[in-house]
């Protein structure tokens, strides 16, 4: 059985078509959306991932390559 979607803040059950109809999705209301936003800005949420120096240098190289390719294109 598929579990119904709930608001991540107040845990209210959302209607099945909430993703299509609600401008607040995945939240049930503007209030819950703002609570979530302010939690992010207060630093109460964090994306925690260990830093791997090799991955950082690889991603930096990819960004530099894409930046230089973009500047080489004619306008």
Q: 26 with 7: CB under 8 angstroms?
A: yes
Q: Kindly state whether residue 67 falls inside one of the protein's structural domains.
A: yes
> What confidence tens digit (pLDDT) does each residue in 7-57 have?
999 999 999 898 899 899 999 999 999 999 999 999 888 877 777 778 778
Q: Kindly state whether residue 5 falls inside one of the protein's structural domains.
A: no
The helix, strand and coil proportions of the chain, stated in percent and rounded to the nearest 5, come to 50, 5, 50
Q: Kindly state whether residue 59 falls inside one of the protein's structural domains.
A: yes
Domain boundaries, position 67: 18-72
Q: Kindly state whether residue 3 falls inside one of the protein's structural domains.
A: no
Domain count, the chain: 1
- pTM (two decimals): 0.57
Q: Kindly state whether residue 40 falls inside one of the protein's structural domains.
A: yes
Q: Kindly state whether residue 11 falls inside one of the protein's structural domains.
A: no
């Amino acid at each position: 059985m598929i579990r119904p979607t709930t608001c991540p803040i107040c845990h209210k059950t959302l209607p099945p078509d909430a993703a299509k109809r609600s401008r607040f999705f995945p939240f049930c209301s503007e209030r819950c959306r703002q609570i979530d936003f302010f939690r992010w800005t207060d630093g109460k949420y964090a994306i925690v991932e260990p830093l791997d120096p090799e991955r950082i240098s690889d991603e930096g190289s990819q960004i530099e390559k894409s930046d230089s390719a973009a500047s080489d294109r004619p306008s």
